[in-house]
Amino acid sequence: MTEDLNWAIGGEAGDGIDSTGKIFAQALSRAGRHVFTSKDFASRIRGGYTAYKIRTSTDRVQSVVDRLDILVALTQRTIDENLDELHEGSAVIYDGERSWDAEIPDEITAVDVPLKSLAEEAGGAIMLNVVALGAACEITGFDVAYLDEALEKRFGGKGSKIVDNNKDAARKGRDYVRENYDLDLGYALETTDEDYVLLNGDEAIGMGALAAGCRFYAGYPITPATNVMEYLIGRIEQYGGHVVQAEDELSAINMALGAARGGARSMTATSGPGIDLMAETFGLVATSETPLVIVDVMRSGPSTGMPTKQEQGDLNMTLYGGHGEIPRFVVAPTTIDECFWKTVEAFNYAEKYQTPVYVVADLALAVTEQTFSPETFDMDAVEIDRGNLLEDDQVSEWLDDQGHFRAHAATEDGISPRAIPGMTDGAHMSTGLEHDELGRRTEDTEVRVEQVDKRNRKVETAKAEEEWDYREFGDEDADNLVVSWGSNEGALREAVALLEDEDVPVRVISVPYLFPRPDLNEEFEAADDVIVVECNATGQFADVLEHDTLQRVKRINKYTGVRFKADELAEEITAKLNEEVPAQ
Amino acid sequence: MSSQSEVRFTDFKSDKQPTWCPGCGDFGTMNGMMKALANTGNDPDNTFLVAGIGCSGKIGTYMHSYAIHGVHGRALPVATGVKMARPDIEVMAAGGDGDGYSIGAGHFVHATRRNVDMTYVVMDNRIYGLTKGQASPTSRSDFETSTTPEGSQQPPVNPLALALASGATFIAQSFASDAIRHAEIIEEAIEHDGFGFVNVFSPCVTFNDVDTYDYFRDSLVDLKEEDHDRHDYEAAKGVILDADKEYQGVMYQNENSIPYHERHGVTENMAEIPDGAPENAMDLVREFY
Ligand SMILES: Cc1ncc(C[n+]2csc(CCOP(=O)(O)OP(=O)(O)O)c2C)c(N)n1
Ligand code: SF4
């Protein structure tokens, strides 16, 4: 039963839940185990409850399940919140000396450890979470020594004494359980020689930006995109770049636009409310044909919505947002490693096609950490294509007979030459006003049509030149097709396995390109039933696909603010397959 | 055009004929900007002009340089981005009083305190010109316009005081029709190490019959002729907060101005990047061990 262990720590916000969870996750990863983490910010009761959950296995894990084996509960609330996930083989670690009387169902093993007292013995009550980690190690047969490296990483900056105290605290927790309990719940966490890295989607996006040569980032803090900025600060400087915390999103996107016109690879990241604020400038970016990467890490909307909750509700905004008609690309990573690769691609598309490119991620991708082998992020495989950015001596080829640079030359493929400041004779004006080839304002009907067509032609060129493919898994001959975008892919992979066990074969297509996007007509025609899975109420992607294929689809929509779980998805898919197609 | 060759101010002129009303103050403002750019050794290929939206914002079309004509109120963030990416480029932002002190007021405060090494020229006509004569944040409280038939009954914004309060390191004011002084002041703003802010009285001859050329000519006091020490903060405060007079000249210059790029070490040309991921990029991955 120990193949796949689910562990969690929960308490009040401010109890150090996140950092403690992360220490354990890192220790597991260092021990060559796969890890998939998730964060809970109160689903049923309002307030400060927060939990960090880890699913770990020697096999790859990429979703959450409704089962909890070991729970470190710093509050009664933690137990109450997770009651339905605990089972007979579960253990709850708690501190009986503290003021609350833990109510733990009889069939669950209660492990009472004086966390606070032991922490004080080790040098300070603040380390009580680490004592709990030591206790958890003992229960799961995991060597506390694996914690050491993670503790060094976390506390190294605070001096060796703090690190040593923490190591001691962990051992006190282990010894207490060893001496006072004779537990055999059957857990024995195996270790391997694999070296894994552990990171979340925001970090992967930031790392992708650095790999792709991003030099300028401007942003305004917003959950769950802030991590991108926090990751870049302190790292981008190594490459001569810079991060600005702007006064608002209006400023952020305009700064990023300015840097891009200066010739830098430039990016901003935000979440829905910030995307709204950026909408006006988004149009300018497209009309002035400025290469820019804009990351939208979606959270629950509309308005301020549920800032710490999952949703995939911004698809329409990113596909259609902004006044007028705006050519753009929208890429949407479906896994954490793709957050890296799609960001790299986004920079190339932005420069090749001189357009804004949205990278659309979601909260579940952004805050979830997952283990990967380092080669997943093979930096040698990163390619940089700056498109039609001219060399100094090429500028003269693009001057009109008066010597003006044709920055918006209406070329056949829609892509114009690009000159950046400092290039001799390349000086030109760019504007959000409709303009001619030189970038000068016009209301001439023919030029207007020519420039609109020219900008749209870039999309046609890209459709023809790039591969807008999808990822496929499950049974490729199955009659039933499930289509998904964003972070649902991991849960779907496991759902497919569960369905296979029940003899319900499905073919799954996970789409990372929302615009341009793959043509799914053939795939739809080959299927009896098509189900589109997404975390929103109205089925925005389902609508788009129905429009593309002129075929009705079934929909699985979740908008509770919580991501899909594998078992839940398996059940819903089965139910949907038994449902009649909705009337036209 | 290489920076070695002799640059004349007309090199900064585009061949587009301005559609400004004859007599508009923006002609003089622009001429002074072009002269100042040429006098400080810049040429169109190493200059980036960010224009606002308004009659004033059209300046981007009439000048010749690398330029962007952005969205209303956001010239300063764009200029900030350009300068950070390209410390080697001369960056200037220009727009109107509505653009800068109304829709863009937040950016004005923050660009000022950031102290990025660039120049910001506001063509202050105390009215919205392009949208045909509504009150602007610098309009007098009793000035009647189409949107304020009985006057706004609100005190006008004092942009110089706003700048001072935001930590400005260079605050000046000039008058579009005093050609020599105006160009001189812009030149000083360009040469200032940090954010050089110049509020320019640039009369709108069509919609503003109060803040006219005659009015400014009669009332303007040039600080050059006064005994004003621009490095003296208290003295600067005195002239900036003096509601009874209109001043021309440099009110304040902080001798110890440390521009953003020096404080943050933003000195590299960010347009240059390698063909692939940076060397040692795998270190970024290994950090996640
Ligand atoms: C978001 C947005 N709101 C409103 C406008 C309309 N608009 C264009 S210019 C302008 C005011 C310009 O006034 P000012 O900055 O003083 O410049 P002037 O025309 O007087 O030179 C307004 C409100 C716009 N272009 N964009
Ligand atoms: S309306 Fe006023 S500001 Fe606009 S061009 Fe005419 S005079 Fe100048």
Closest CA of chain B from A145, distance in Å: 16
The answer on pLDDT for B6 being more than 60 is yes
The answer to whether the CB atoms of B282 and A259 lie below 8 A apart is no
Closest CA of chain A from B224, distance in Å: 36
The answer on pLDDT for A368 being more than 90 is yes
- Torsions phi, psi for B135 (to 5 deg): -65, 145
Q: Which residues contact A445 (CB under 8 A, 6 or more apart)?
A: none
Residues A499 and A361 both lie in one domain: no
- At residue A64 the predicted structure's pLDDT band, cuts being 50, 70 and 90, is confident
- Torsions phi, psi for A218 (to 5 deg): -125, 135
Q: Which numbered ligand comes closest to the C-alpha of B54?
A: 1
Mean pLDDT of B171-196: 98
Average pLDDT, chain A: 95
Of A184-193, A202-211, B48-57, which range is least confident?
A: A184-193
The answer on pLDDT for A252 being more than 90 is yes
Residues A105 and A91 both lie in one domain: yes
- At residue A160 the predicted structure's pLDDT band, cuts being 50, 70 and 90, is very high
Mean pLDDT of A327-337: 98
The answer to whether the CB atoms of A251 and B77 lie below 8 A apart is yes
Suggest the residue from A30, A420, A429 to mutate for an interface test with chain B (most B CBs closer than 10 A).
A429
pLDDT in tens, B136-177: 999 999 999 999 999 999 999 999 999 999 999 999 999 999
Q: Residue B2's closest chain A neighbor by CA?
A: A424
The type of residue at A486 is G
Instruction: Give the position, in ligand 2's atom list, of the atom nearest the Cα of B125.
Output: 3
Q: Which residue ranges have their beta carbon within 6 Å of ligand 1?
A: B 53-56, 72, 95-99, 123, 125, 127-131, 136
Q: Which residues of B touch A237 (CB under 8 A)?
A: 265
Residues A375 and A398 both lie in one domain: no
Tell me how far apart the alpha carbons of residues A560 and A363 are, in angstroms, rounded to a whole number: 13
The type of residue at A131 is V
Q: Which residues contact B149 (CB under 8 A, 6 or more apart)?
A: none
pLDDT in tens, A507-551: 999 999 999 999 999 999 999 999 999 999 999 999 999 999 999
Surface of B (255-284) touching A: CB under 8 A: 264-266, 268, 270-271, 273-278, 281-282, 284
Q: Tally Cβ neighbours within 10 Å of residue A140.
A: 20
Q: Which residues face A73 on adjacent strands?
A: A10
Q: Which residue has the higher pLDDT, A10 or B1?
A: A10
Q: Which residues of A touch B65 (CB under 8 A)?
A: 427
A103 alpha carbon, distance to own chain's centre: 36
Mean pLDDT of B236-262: 97
Tell me how far apart the alpha carbons of residues B37 and B46 are, in angstroms, rounded to a whole number: 10
Residues A41 and A122 both lie in one domain: yes
Residues A343 and A438 both lie in one domain: no
Tell me how far apart the alpha carbons of residues A175 and B238 are, in angstroms, rounded to a whole number: 72
Domains of chain A: total: 4
Model ipTM over 0.90: yes
3-state DSSP helix/strand/coil percent for chain A, to nearest 5? Answer: 40, 20, 40
The answer to whether the CB atoms of B77 and A254 lie below 8 A apart is yes
pLDDT of B3 reads: 45
Q: Is residue A148 part of a domain?
A: yes
**Residue A300 DSSP code:** B
Q: Which domain covers residue A513, as residue numbers? A: 471-577
CA B123-B128-B134 angle, to 5 degrees, is: 155
Radius of gyration of chain A (CA): 26
Q: Is residue A234 part of a domain?
A: yes
Tell me how far apart the alpha carbons of residues A497 and A511 are, in angstroms, rounded to a whole number: 19
Residue count of chain B, please give it: 289
In the listed set A195, A210, A235, which residue is the last one of a domain according to the structure?
A195
Q: Is residue A418 part of a domain?
A: yes
Q: Which residue has the higher pLDDT, A351 or A43?
A: A351
Instruction: Give the position, in ligand 1's atom list, of the atom nearest the Cα of B53.
Output: 9
* 3 state DSSP class of A473: strand
Instruction: Give the position, in ligand 1's atom list, of the atom nearest the Cα of B57.
Output: 21
Rounded distance from Cα A563 to ligand 2 centre (Å): 56
Residues A308 and A435 both lie in one domain: no
Tell me how far apart the alpha carbons of residues A237 and B261 are, in angstroms, rounded to a whole number: 12
- Torsions phi, psi for B61 (to 5 deg): -80, -30
Class of residue B207 by CB neighbours under 10 A (exposed 0-12, middle 13-18, buried 19+): buried
Closest CA of chain B from A321, distance in Å: 16
For chain B, helix (H) and strand (E) counts, in that order, are 11, 8
Residues A280 and A368 both lie in one domain: yes
CATH number at residue A261: 3.40.50.970
- At residue A99 the predicted structure's pLDDT band, cuts being 50, 70 and 90, is low
Q: Is residue A232 part of a domain?
A: yes
Tell me how far apart the alpha carbons of residues B85 and B260 are, in angstroms, rounded to a whole number: 13
Mean pLDDT of A433-451: 97
Rounded distance from Cα B76 to ligand 2 centre (Å): 22
Mean pLDDT of A170-196: 95
Tell me how far apart the alpha carbons of residues B171 and B198 are, in angstroms, rounded to a whole number: 6
The answer to whether the CB atoms of A431 and B68 lie below 8 A apart is yes
In the listed set A195, A224, A239, which residue is the last one of a domain according to the structure?
A195
Average pLDDT, chain B: 96
Q: Tally Cβ neighbours within 10 Å of residue A188.
A: 11
CATH number at residue A506: 3.40.50.920
Mean pLDDT of A185-214: 96
Nearest CA to ligand 2 atom 6: B21
The answer to whether the CB atoms of A261 and B64 lie below 8 A apart is no
Q: Which numbered ligand comes closest to the C-alpha of B99?
A: 1
pLDDT of A42 reads: 58
pLDDT of B126 reads: 98
CA A262-A268-A273 angle, to 5 degrees, is: 140
pLDDT of A582 reads: 57
- At residue B1 the predicted structure's pLDDT band, cuts being 50, 70 and 90, is very low
Q: Is residue A39 part of a domain?
A: yes
Residues A92 and A147 both lie in one domain: yes
Closest CA of chain B from A88, distance in Å: 34
In the listed set A418, A434, A465, which residue is the last one of a domain according to the structure?
A465
pLDDT of B158 reads: 98
- Torsions phi, psi for B171 (to 5 deg): -130, 125
Instruction: Give the position, in ligand 2's atom list, of the atom nearest the Cα of B133.
Output: 1
Mean pLDDT of B232-254: 97
Residues A356 and A415 both lie in one domain: no
Q: Is residue A430 part of a domain?
A: yes
The answer to whether the CB atoms of A261 and B277 lie below 8 A apart is no
Q: Where are the alpha helices (DSSP H) in A183-248?
A: 201-211, 226-232
Tell me how far apart the alpha carbons of residues A302 and A314 are, in angstroms, rounded to a whole number: 9
% of chain B surpassing 90 pLDDT: 98
Contact status, residue B86 vs residue B65, Cβ threshold 8 Å:
no
For tokens 């002799």, name the residue: B6
DSSP class per residue in A46-73: -SSEEEEEEEEESS---S--S-EEEEEE
Residues A186 and A301 both lie in one domain: no
The structure tokens listed for A484 are 């998904």
Distances (CA, A) of A84 to A79, A88, A99: 9, 11, 24
Q: Is residue A582 part of a domain?
A: no
pLDDT in tens, A496-513: 999 999 999 999 999 999
Q: Which residues contact A270 (CB under 8 A, 6 or more apart)?
A: A219, A220, A222, A225, A249, A252, A277, A278, A294, A295, A296, A297
Residues A22 and A167 both lie in one domain: yes
CATH number at residue A60: 3.40.920.10
Contact status, residue B92 vs residue B121, Cβ threshold 8 Å:
yes
Q: Is residue A204 part of a domain?
A: yes
Tell me how far apart the alpha carbons of residues B89 and B79 are, in angstroms, rounded to a whole number: 11
Q: Which residues of A touch B71 (CB under 8 A)?
A: 254, 280-281, 284, 432
Residues A359 and A407 both lie in one domain: no
